[in-house]
Chain A
Amino acid sequence: MPAPSGPSRLLRLLRRNLVVIAGLATLCYLLLPNVIVTVFSFNKPNGRFNYEWQRFSTDAWADPCGVADLCGSLSLSLRIAVWATIGSTVLGTMIAFALARYRFRARSSVSTLLFLPMAMPEVVMAASLATLFLNMGVSFGFWTILIAHIMFCLSFVVTAVKARVMSMDPRLEQAAQDLYATPLQTFLRVTLPIAAPGIAAGALLSFALSFDDFIITNFNAGSTVTFPMFVWGSAQRGTPVQINVIGTAMFVIAVLCVLVGQLAGGRRKRS
């Protein structure tokens, strides 16, 4: 058989690695906006809108809070996300333990009630909660946002924690009890450490969901402005470069956190 010539060899190489190429192309599609956000954080736009590249500048990085209300909305979003995470993680973990550990009659209706918020379009949930608040005469603001965020994060926490608790061996707890541990000791020393990764995953998820939520917040915030709402408004009024700076910083901080977590986890496994 004669050796295949250049182009046909290239074609065969492409065909053999089609999945790899297609997969990496998708990854590029996913990461492209992040690259653009990062690049445009070093832009010096001519007008109010930061959509076209003009020239390199680090002005926005030197003064990330230089735009009125931006850092205020950011800190509000962070505060809401922290409280929503605490609230939904505590409530969600309790539900997850009840579902994973006990058999009781309302089990299936509880599961349905938990599944629905995840399967419902956000705009429907947002509008109905806002209707309720309107008619009860509640004034919109921090508390209505927090209530709404805990509501929609709850199901995600339950799912994450339940998966972890379900996969854990109940004999570990029996063993602790056999060794004369009190129920409280068993829970604190055995159950909680094993469930911790699930709880952490749920907490992380609800923090991200709460921090990034726009639709439900938009309906239930009144005149209060969270960070996503600030970004939304700026899309109409003109986007300051500082938004790109914060977007880039969030990305970098998150990736660093994940890397540190991975390294710490790897080290613990080795030791």
Chain B
Amino acid sequence: MAHPQAPAADSATDSATDPEVPPALRAAARRKKLVPYWLLLPGILWLLVFFAAPLVYQASTSVQTGSLEEGFEVTWHFATYWDAATEYYPQFLRSVGYAATATVGCLALGYPLAYLIAFKAGRWRNVLMILVIAPFFTSFLIRTLAWKTILSDGGPVVSALNSLHILGLTDALGITEGHRVLATPLAVVCGLTYNFLPFMILPLYTSLERIDPRLHEAAGDLYAKPLTTFRKVTFPLSMPGVVAGTLLTFIPATGDYINAELLGSTDQKMIGNVIQSQFLRVLDYPTAAALSFILMAAILAMVTLYIRKSGTEDLV
């Protein structure tokens, strides 16, 4: 935290230190300068105590050894990290793979809808917006459970895919198993895509909405085909939305364990499932803490790389 007497770029600074100014006014100015700190204090304190401090504490937990009965002790046992990483790297890789696939799926599904709402909806814009946000209001666990019904073995989706011989193809690719969808990677990715789709659509819509439609007309006047207009004008201008949307989808999807638990089987466990069971069932807190930190570091590294690659560093 900054010191309250720190010089601020506020106009009050001058009157607070200027000896020419009467002391009463000077005191008033100093009080005014403290206002932002008083406003910040309770909320920031809350975050420091219940968000930042736990992370530090978690870091110390990750280098502890011991058991629940005998108690844990900091022994700087860094091998926990190595053991956790070597034992659970399949789950790490799977999480990143599922999350990346779901993010691409969200982008492919969300872009047309965001585009539709931003440019083609006209007076239906508000209605469509409400329909995008409305599913939020039914508990997402209930909606995820509904996918069990939709993808069930005897259900219309599976029969349709079967009669089109698509499931034979996906079985061969290893996305599905035994001509069914539930308890396969496809079901988990489908659930992830569904659950995080609104987080893609909203930032995409925000950045598309800012684009002046006259730019489209101008591109058309310059004989650009619709596809060229999209490739050269619309898509580059919507990049902030694409970057924000992919991050808002990818980060929570990597740590998610609900879709893998409800729609997948033991073969689709993601890293979130491992952390959850280590913490709540096995009660191996050091391993759970080490896994959390590896996950955080991996996400941080990927996000940094991605932001640098996408060339929108001013965003975050």
Query: Do A51 and B289 have beta carbons less than 8 Å apart?
Result: no
| CB of B85 closer than 8 Å to a CB of A | no
Stretch at the interface among B131-139, B163-171, B172-180, B235-243: B131-139
| CB of B249 closer than 8 Å to a CB of A | no
Query: Do B43 and A95 have beta carbons less than 8 Å apart?
Result: yes
Shortest distance from the beta carbon of A47 to any chain B beta carbon, whole Å? 14
Bound-state Cα–Cα, A160 to B221, Å: 39
Query: Do B272 and A121 have beta carbons less than 8 Å apart?
Result: yes
Query: Do A228 and B141 have beta carbons less than 8 Å apart?
Result: yes
Query: Do A227 and B137 have beta carbons less than 8 Å apart?
Result: no
B37: chain A residues at CB < 8 Å are: 98, 104
Query: Do B141 and A33 have beta carbons less than 8 Å apart?
Result: no
Contact with A along B260-291 (1 / 0, CB 8 A): 00100000000010011001100001001100
Interface residues of A in 99-146 (CB under 8 A from B): 101-106, 109-110, 113-117, 119-125, 127-132, 134-135
B222: chain A residues at CB < 8 Å are: none
Stretch at the interface among B16-24, B47-55, B75-83, B86-94: B47-55
Bound-state Cα–Cα, A106 to B138, Å: 39
Stretch at the interface among A5-13, A22-30, A62-70, A172-180: A22-30
Residue in contact with B47 in the complex, picked from A33, A113, A227, A258, CB distance below 8 Å: A113
Query: Do B152 and A51 have beta carbons less than 8 Å apart?
Result: yes
A110: chain B residues at CB < 8 Å are: 40, 44
Closest to B271 in A: A123
A116: chain B residues at CB < 8 Å are: 51
Main secondary structure, interface of B, reads helix
A247: chain B residues at CB < 8 Å are: 138-139, 142-143
Query: Do B145 and A103 have beta carbons less than 8 Å apart?
Result: no
| CB of B148 closer than 8 Å to a CB of A | yes
| CB of A40 closer than 8 Å to a CB of B | yes
Given contacts A20-B116, A151-B47, is CB(A94)–CB(B42) below 8 Å? yes
Shortest distance from the beta carbon of A102 to any chain B beta carbon, whole Å? 4
| CB of A215 closer than 8 Å to a CB of B | yes
Bound-state Cα–Cα, A158 to B252, Å: 20
| CB of B258 closer than 8 Å to a CB of A | yes
A215: chain B residues at CB < 8 Å are: 256-258, 272
Bound-state Cα–Cα, A192 to B11, Å: 24
Query: Do B113 and A52 have beta carbons less than 8 Å apart?
Result: no
Given contacts A102-B36, A150-B46, is CB(A121)–CB(B142) below 8 Å? no
Residue in contact with B280 in the complex, picked from A40, A129, A219, CB distance below 8 Å: A219
Shortest distance from the beta carbon of A90 to any chain B beta carbon, whole Å? 8
| CB of A56 closer than 8 Å to a CB of B | no
B10: chain A residues at CB < 8 Å are: 102-104
| CB of B245 closer than 8 Å to a CB of A | no
Shortest distance from the beta carbon of B119 to any chain A beta carbon, whole Å? 8
Interface residues of B in 115-162 (CB under 8 A from A): 115-117, 120, 126, 128, 130-150, 152, 154
Residue in contact with A91 in the complex, picked from B42, B52, B252, CB distance below 8 Å: B42
| CB of A57 closer than 8 Å to a CB of B | no
Query: Do A128 and B131 have beta carbons less than 8 Å apart?
Result: no
Query: Do B138 and A121 have beta carbons less than 8 Å apart?
Result: no
Closest to A119 in B: B251
| CB of B305 closer than 8 Å to a CB of A | no
B128: chain A residues at CB < 8 Å are: 27
Shortest distance from the beta carbon of B169 to any chain A beta carbon, whole Å? 21
Query: Do A255 and B134 have beta carbons less than 8 Å apart?
Result: yes
Given contacts A30-B197, A36-B146, A117-B51, is CB(A232)–CB(B46) below 8 Å? no
Given contacts A147-B50, A231-B141, is CB(A36)–CB(B149) below 8 Å? yes
6 A-B pairs with least C-beta separation: A121-B255, A23-B116, A254-B137, A22-B112, A106-B2, A91-B43
Q: Known pairs A32-B150, A94-B42, A95-B40. 18 more at Cβ < 8 A?
A: A27-B113, A27-B128, A36-B149, A52-B149, A91-B43, A95-B39, A120-B251, A121-B296, A123-B295, A131-B57, A150-B50, A219-B276, A235-B262, A239-B145, A244-B142, A246-B139, A246-B142, A253-B137
Could you tell me which A residues sit within 8 Å of B by CB distance? 18-20, 22-27, 29-34, 36-37, 40, 51-52, 91-92, 94-95, 97-98, 101-106, 109-110, 113-117, 119-125, 127-132, 134-135, 147-148, 150-151, 154, 158, 208, 211-212, 214-215, 218-219, 227-228, 231-232, 235, 239, 243-244, 246-248, 250-251, 253-255, 258-259, 262
Could you tell me which B residues sit within 8 Å of A by CB distance? 1-3, 6-10, 35-37, 39-40, 42-44, 46-48, 50-55, 57-58, 61, 109-110, 112-117, 120, 126, 128, 130-150, 152, 154, 194, 197-198, 201, 247, 251-252, 254-258, 262, 272, 275-276, 279-280, 285, 288-289, 292, 295-296, 299, 303, 316
